[in-house]
Amino acid sequence: QLVESGGGLVQPGRSLRLSCTASGFTLGDYAVSWVRQAPGKGLEWVGFITNKADGGTTEYAASLKGRVSISTNYSESIVYLQLNSLKTEDTAVYYCTRGGFNWGQGTLVTVSS
């Protein structure tokens, strides 16, 4: 199971850290992606962190590169998505997913002044 948290209302230019807490499996054994969906829009891949054996390396969507980072706390089974310099167009529901097989329920981030 995956559960996202940390969303909310944030002003443009601020930062936010989202959490994805895993249970029922060993987080370090799997890669995790973040995907977002703006209101009324389609799915957009945000980024990805590989499993522990593959070094926990990261990849990001070009549109977000420089403003986003993904990290993992293996002992707490949490994957983080750090969003910086937020823009109104970052308003979306953010999902974490284990290879597309398991998804969290999503957490809504609203960027507005």
Strand stretches in the chain, DSSP E: 2-5, 8-10, 16-22, 32-37, 43-49, 58-60, 68-73, 78-83, 92-98, 102-103, 107-111
User: Half-sphere exposure of 26 toward its Cβ, with a 13 Å CA cutoff?
Assistant: 5
Number of chain residues interacting with other proteins (CB under 8 A): 19
Spatial distance between the Cα atoms of 41 and 17, rounded to a whole number of angstroms: 23
As measured in angstroms, the least distance from the Cβ of 75 to other proteins is 26
Place of tokens 């199971």: 1
Q: Count of residues for the chain?
A: 113
Which is nearer to other proteins, 14 or 65 (by Cβ)?
Answer: 65
Query: Looking at 16-24, 37-45, 68-76, 77-85, which segment touches other proteins (CB under 8 A)?
Result: 37-45
Name which of residues 52 to 111 contact other proteins (CB under 8 A): 59-62, 95, 97, 100-101, 103-106
Which is nearer to other proteins, 24 or 75 (by Cβ)?
Answer: 24
Q: Which residues bind other proteins (CB under 8 A)?
A: 33, 35, 42-45, 48, 59-62, 95, 97, 100-101, 103-106
